[in-house]
A = this chain, B = another copy of it.
Amino acid sequence: MLDGLFRPRGVGVIGASSNPYSIGHIVLKNLVDYGYKGPIFPINPKGGHVRSFKAYKSILEVPDVVDLVNISVAAKFIPDIIEECGQKGVKFAIVHSAGFKEVGEEGLARERKMVEIAHRHGMRIYGPNCQGIQNSDPEVSVYANFTFVPMKPGNISIIAQGGGMGELLKLHLHKVGLGHRLYCSYGNECDLTMPEILEYYGQDEGTRVIMMQTESFKNPAVFLEVASKITPHKPILAMKCGRSAEGSVAVSSHTGSLIDQNAMTQAMYKQAGILEFTDSDEMVKAAIAFSTQSPPPGNRIGLVTNTGGPGIQAVDTAIASGLELATWSDQGRERLKSELYAEASTGNPVDVVATAGADHYFAAMDTLLHEEETDMVMVFFVTAPFVDLDAIAERIEEAAASSAKPVVVVIETIAKWGGLLDRIRAAGVPVYEFPEDGVRALAAMHRYATLRARKTEAPPELEVNRAEAAKLLAGYSGRDGYLSQIDAFALLELYGISVPKRARIREMEDLVAGAAEVGFPCVLKVDSADVVHKSDEGGVILGIADEHELAAAFGDLQKKFARVDAEYFLQRQLPAAKELILGALDAPGLGKLVMFGLGGIFVEIMKDVSFAVAPLSKPEAQEMMREIQGFSLLSGSRGEASVDLDALESLLLRVSRLVADHPSIAEMDLNPVFATADGATAVDVRIRVR
């Protein structure tokens, strides 16, 4: 429980001083200015007073309970201070100071020592090198942070790795007159971790929406687990900065060349049901909608406007954001016709026309909100000098309040009439300034509704021979390299993955038996740890029709690879089919990602691939297939026969289970997989272990 951090019974400010530019001073000032409900204890070795507070020379002198301390003294003093805090029974220390891990060995040692001391006393360290926290709950009202955006109660909580971005999100809520609930910028995560804080946010009753910003994940697996538990009842809106970073996982397979941190984050967000954003403004505006509106039952938007252009722009944005235009019942259309001006347009958007008054707006909104096939409503209003703005505000509020469907309003006006915005906002209806913003906020709510409604289930139990697979892989223990072809196919088979008939060929004498086992036509491949790109190096001979050709092919390969330590490998050549690629690779700290796509140019040129975290559940495997743009090439929706989607699903499940079960598999490439109307077979495979 993090109550000691977010609901402290007393706060000590270690390093509090009268210098108005010092962090200690600013923290103290913020605690006072925002009316922290508990006692505040400045700590300063000189004693005396800081502002009007008695300053204690040591935390040990404080006569009352102190749950939280903010520390901004030089790093070298901090371990000793932590020791004293521990003795005092402090529960959390926010360490603003820098001078730890980020400055090298000495700092790292200091950081470890600090954490060790804290843990000895059952105390936790927050930071270091961080801003701090806020909780606007009027019962607590704690601003234990040295930043400047004013705090007032709200129900949007913010968790940010970087202080600059966290403050930015908070700032833009503030700019539209909204407060926030909990806030933290968590810095280095030397002890207390982001998922622990996120979990607390999830349980906080005053938090309705969570906005988060991260740059990296210290423990993605734990984050995924925590986030997955929150999103069914509370939306998490998240952005990951560093999406374009060159720090992408460098691996040699196809899969590797496509994956990056961004794909890992997206896969993780998808699995956890997190709403991803790449634009901070858009995320803030969506959070505002979530803070008062309920997610829509479907994706059909109804629009009300009193001017044409912005309505059309709203339609364009809605379609581009995955929404559909609602249509009205005859009854609804009749009501619109009878209650609006004759020149009003009763389609979607409903154009009530510029001279429309409060009752017209009400009639249009009320009609749409009662239409069964309208899931959400956006209202656009450009202030016209001929209408009563107060009455309009009142009736917009009234209509919005009468329905559980989400409503947002876009108002085009100047400061003179700005009270209109404030008034509608105060009534809990989100107000925006561009039609695009209102539509995108509703679209985000729809995305959340879809995520929340998606089928989630545990990865299925599969009949696989895990023990035998482990034994096979144990044979490669300690090596960093590729499995032999014969082993790679054997491993797939142990997990029930369909592979072609094959035979190991060491010498000329093996050919006859091999051919008998495999049959013609067949493919002969070199199988050697020294030859990774077999095809490129001429190590694959396709379309061998008989024993004579086989012998010749074998002779050729033997000559070509005389100088490397090579065996050979014969496999049945399958008739041409739809080619797919399945891959898996390490996602450090998370486990494995699985990749799915159509083969060849679809992967290489079109980047038409999907990713998910292994092991997959059935709905996840189905979604992965459907996510690629080329899915209709598989599903037969273009008049061709569908490939065997059940077999593909099974293949995805089994591949994901294989890589999840055996962490020593660093990457894996099934390329191509041949998919037909009655099966899916891995025709070539490459598996790297580590």
Contacts and interface: CB of A to CB of B under 8 A. Distances in A.
A319 interface: yes
Interface stretch (A511-519, A526-534, A598-606): A598-606
Given A148-B414, A279-B436, A633 B601 contact: yes
17 contacts: A21-B385, A21-B386, A148-B414, A149-B414, A160-B309, A163-B307, A164-B382, A167-B412, A168-B310, A171-B412, A171-B413, A172-B434, A215-B309, A241-B313, A278-B320, A605-B632, A606-B630
A278 to B, nearest CB: 7
A312 interface: yes
Interface of A: 20-21, 26, 98, 146, 148-150, 160-168, 171-172, 174-175, 213, 215, 239, 241-244, 278-281, 305, 307-313, 315-316, 319-320, 343, 380, 382-383, 385-386, 412-414, 433-437, 601, 604-606, 608, 629-630, 632-633, 638
A638 B167 CA distance: 46
Contacts of A239: 313
Given A167-B412, A171-B413, A171-B414, 9 more contacts: A161-B309, A162-B312, A164-B307, A164-B382, A167-B382, A171-B412, A239-B313, A241-B316, A601-B633
Nearest to A279: B436
Contact of A385 (B26, B312, B414): B26
Contacts of A281: 434, 436-437
Contacts of A280: 313, 434-436
Nearest to A103: B343
Nearest to A164: B307
Given A160-B309, A171-B414, A309-B161, A278 B434 contact: no
A148 B383 CA distance: 9
B606 A629 contact: yes
A680 B162 CA distance: 55
B414 A174 contact: yes
A150 B601 contact: no
Contacts of A242: 312, 315-316
Contact of A164 (B160, B310, B343, B436): B310
Nearest to A281: B434
A320 B243 CA distance: 10
Contacts of A305: 164
Nearest to A149: B414
Nearest to A417: B148
A652 to B, nearest CB: 21
A163 B316 contact: no
A414 to B, nearest CB: 6
Contact of A244 (B316, B414, B632): B316
Given A150-B414, A320-B278, A165 B313 contact: yes
B309 A162 contact: yes
A148 B26 contact: no
Given A164-B307, A310-B165, A316 B243 contact: yes
By Cβ-Cβ distance, the 9 closest A-B pairs, closest first, are: A162-B309, A164-B307, A165-B309, A244-B319, A241-B312, A21-B386, A164-B309, A243-B316, A164-B310
Given A280-B436, A434-B168, A148 B309 contact: no
Contacts of A307: 162-164
A242 B280 CA distance: 27
B308 A162 contact: yes
Contacts of A312: 162, 215, 241-242
A244 B433 contact: no
Contacts of A20: 385
A568 B436 CA distance: 55
A670 to B, nearest CB: 22
A174 B677 CA distance: 62
A638 B604 contact: yes
A130 to B, nearest CB: 12
Contacts of A171: 412-414
